[in-house]
A and B are shown apart, each in its own frame.
Chain A
């Protein structure tokens, strides 16, 4: 039998599965866009509340444009829950459910981009975010996209049940870490993580996990991703219903809760 036609490389003839053999190519991962600030607007937390909640957040983001270069991501909300309900009732698989729910996050992105259009902000689909983010952010201070990652039909099999696990919170973190972003802020409708009646300014992923899944303001998968991440080692959760919270977070002020790997 003819031998394979190889291109010489450190990984040549490997399965890429032998842990020892893959080690020699390990290097620190560069931050591709070290100035990038990723800001995720919660679908249920903010967008679904309508003008009353969303407009002040958009206003704050507009005010931040001169000083910050942002990737603004939007989550899905109640419509995603509805379409998941219909899809589940029809017996459709997780991969299809992920595609259906992802559409809702995209639509929320189009709404936010429309509100910021006059400021030069446009909606970018996944391909644009993956391949042309740098040029878009050289032309504009911010772009809007969906927080859902492009897993779609290739969504992984969940440990329990059928709901897709790579949703807005995970998608936001994955793209922030891939670009080596300076900051990753989640705009939610809670102040952060509480210990009894007291808001915690910082909490580790391990501490948060001990408090159970209900205690975390972000999907528990994000805690796992934070621990594996190459560059982004913390995220900040702020309450978008409190005026000025988003501005404070991007200004580096202690607001909300910082969740860090550890």
Chain B
């Protein structure tokens, strides 16, 4: 099928002595296989089949030469041109950003989150076995260890909310609690060479991981005064679960494991509802549909997972049961697995 297309002149990285000057065309019809250029230009090209509705090709104008490009390259060219000319609200631009292949930054790393209230607040009885297990795991796997807040975060949220302070202030003061927990884990793991990295020093983690096999970070995202406000109340919606998850997603990590003090996700909070039953596996959509009154992970994590590119499943495991963390890191299903889609 022949199709007329719009020709647009974009910014190109090619210089005249390397390649002939290029024009770009955008084709929105996924069934098109032949292109007629308008206005008249000396050039043609053929479209590669693609799943994406947005394809483009490059062609020479002056030299009379034609240049076929692969779909990925042409998508990049189309994207570059759209980026320079379209508002960020343009759906074509947003879609075009999807056509470029992703590159994972730390593909072989597992992010584990050590719960604040669920583990660290329990003290040595809960923390030492988890620390031992993580040290053992880091011999064979690379770990980024994030920390939760816990009971002190709840205290200061409660206090700050009573004072009428905004979410941004709660986000800052709550962040300090996850930081304390990170530094405590750091002291426990120091003899094994595991460093604590500040949220602004995450760029150094590649070195730490290579040298030591693990690094500890404070789980709270650095949103501070810019934290999104919740629908009701003032408690920051993006806390340490979301912060740890986003580290895993941004770095394109292999795995995200939440270490808690329950076997996984239950139909209600098992601590105060004896009728609660374990859900071994569930999708984000099913979970949102179920609209459970209480949840083992922060609700925004579900929304983040829905649109995730890399970390499309998370597992919640019981850190009070020895051996489960390693099995989860190795991909075994030992707690509740929540998936972005079925």
Instruction: Please name all residues of chain A whose beta carbon is closer than 8 Å to the beta carbon of B168 when the two chains form the complex.
Output: 130, 174-175, 178-179
A120 touches B (CB below 8 Å): no
Chain A residues, Cβ within 8 Å of B305: 157
Interface size on B, residues (CB 8 A): 90
User: In the complex, what residue of chain B is closest to A94 when comparing beta carbons?
Assistant: B250
Query: How far is the CB of B102 from the nearest CB of chain A, in Å?
Result: 5
A228 close to B162 (CB less than 8 A): no
A2 → B minimal CB distance (Å): 4
Report B-chain residues with C-beta under 8 Å of the C-beta of A5. Answer: 121-123, 151
**Contacting chain A: which of B22-30, B135-143, B294-302, B323-331?**
B294-302
Distance, CA A23 to CA B308, complexed state (A): 31
B79 and A85 form a contact (CB under 8 A)? yes
Q: Separation in Å of the A97 CB from the closest CB of chain B?
A: 9
- Kindly provide the distance from the CB of A76 to the nearest chain B CB, expressed in whole angstroms: 11
B295 touches A15 (CB 8 A): yes
Chain A's closest residue to B232 (CB) is: A26
Interface check B19, CB cutoff 8 A = no
> Which of B242-258 touch A at CB < 8 Å?
243, 246-247, 249-252
**Separation of A93 and B246 alpha carbons in the complex (Å):** 11
- Per DSSP, are chain A's interface residues mostly helix, strand or loop, or mixed? loop
Task: Tell me the chain A residues, 118-145 only, with Cβ under 8 Å from chain B.
Answer: 126, 129-131
- Which residues in window 223-245 of B have CB below 8 A to A? 223-235, 238-239, 243
Q: How far is the CA of A30 from the CA of B168 in the complex (A)?
A: 12
Contact present for A25 and B226 (CB under 8 Å) = no
Does the CB pair B296–A29 fall under 8 Å?
no
Q: Which of B124, B167, B225, B304 contacts A157 (CB 8 A)?
A: B304
Residue B110, interface by CB 8 Å: no
A11 on the B face (CB < 8 A): yes
- B105, B123, B307: the one contacting A159 at CB < 8 Å is B307
Interface contact A29-B164, CB-CB below 8 Å: yes
Interface residues in A203-237 (C-beta closer than 8 Å to B): 213-214, 216, 219-220, 225, 228-231
| Contact segment of B34-42, B85-93, B179-187 | B85-93
Q: What residues of chain B lie closer than 8 Å to A253, measured between beta carbons? A: none
Q: Are A28 and B164 also in contact (CB < 8 A) when A130-B172, A150-B226 are?
A: yes
A252 to chain B minimum Cβ distance, whole angstroms, is 24
B161 pairs with A20, CB closer than 8 A: no
B246 and A6 within 8 A (CB) = no
Q: Report whether A81 and B293 are in contact in the complex, using a CB–CB cutoff of 8 Å.
A: no
B286 within 8 A of A: no
For the complex, give the distance between the alpha carbons of A120 and B242 in Å.
40
Check A2–B125 contact: CB distance below 8 A. yes
Q: Which residues of B contact A82 (CB under 8 A)?
A: 83-84
- CB B218 to nearest CB in A, in angstroms, measures 12
CA distance A72 to B264 in the complex (A): 47
At the interface, yes or no: B126 with Cβ under 8 Å from chain A? yes
A91 proximal to B (CB < 8 A): yes
- Report how far A255 CA is from B154 CA in the complex, Å: 45
Tell me whether B232 and A23 are in contact (CB under 8 A). yes
Q: A154 an interface residue at 8 Å Cβ cutoff?
A: yes
- A199 CB within 8 Å of chain B: no
CB of B202 closer than 8 Å to a CB of A: yes
CA distance A144 to B243 in the complex (A): 28
B252 touches A93 (CB 8 A): yes
Residue in A13, A28, A171, A179 with the greatest tally of chain B CB atoms within 10 Å:
A13
**B80 close to chain A: CB less than 8 A:** yes
* Residue B320 CB within 8 A of the other chain: yes
Q: How far is the CB of A105 from chain B (nearest CB, A)?
A: 13
Q: Which of A49-57, A62-70, A161-169, A243-251 contacts B (4 or more CB under 8 A)?
A: A161-169
Tell me whether A84 is interfacial, beta carbon within 8 Å: yes
Chain A residues in 8 Å Cβ range of B298: 16-17
Give the nearest-CB partner of B230 in chain A: A228
User: In the complex the two chains form, what is the Cα distance from A22 to B89 in whole Å?
Assistant: 35
Does the CB pair B94–A9 fall under 8 Å?
no
Q: Decide: A149 and B229 in contact? CB cutoff 8 A.
A: no
- Contact yes or no, B83 A26, CB < 8 A: no
> B151 and A153: CB pair below 8 A?
no
B122 touches A160 (CB 8 A): no
**Residue of A150, A159, A161 most packed against chain B (CB within 10 A):** A161
A34 at the interface (CB under 8 A from B): no
For chain A residues 1-59, which have a beta carbon within 8 Å of chain B? 1-20, 22-23, 25-30, 32
Report the minimal beta-carbon distance from A30 to chain B, rounded to whole angstroms: 4
Interface residues of B, Cβ cutoff 8 Å to A: 76, 79-80, 83-84, 87-91, 93-98, 100-103, 105, 117-118, 121-126, 150-152, 154-155, 157-159, 161-169, 172, 202, 221-235, 238-239, 243, 246-247, 249-252, 269, 271, 293-296, 298-300, 303-310, 320
Contact sample, A vs B, 9 pairs, CB 8 Å cutoff:
A9-B157, A9-B159, A25-B233, A29-B164, A94-B250, A153-B247, A161-B96, A163-B93, A179-B166
Name A's B-contacting residues (CB within 8 A): 1-20, 22-23, 25-30, 32, 78, 81-82, 84-85, 88-96, 126, 129-131, 149-163, 166-167, 171, 174-175, 177-180, 213-214, 216, 219-220, 225, 228-231
Please give 5 more A-B residue pairs, beta carbons under 8 A apart, in addition to A7-B151, A174-B168.
A15-B295, A32-B169, A153-B202, A154-B250, A156-B304
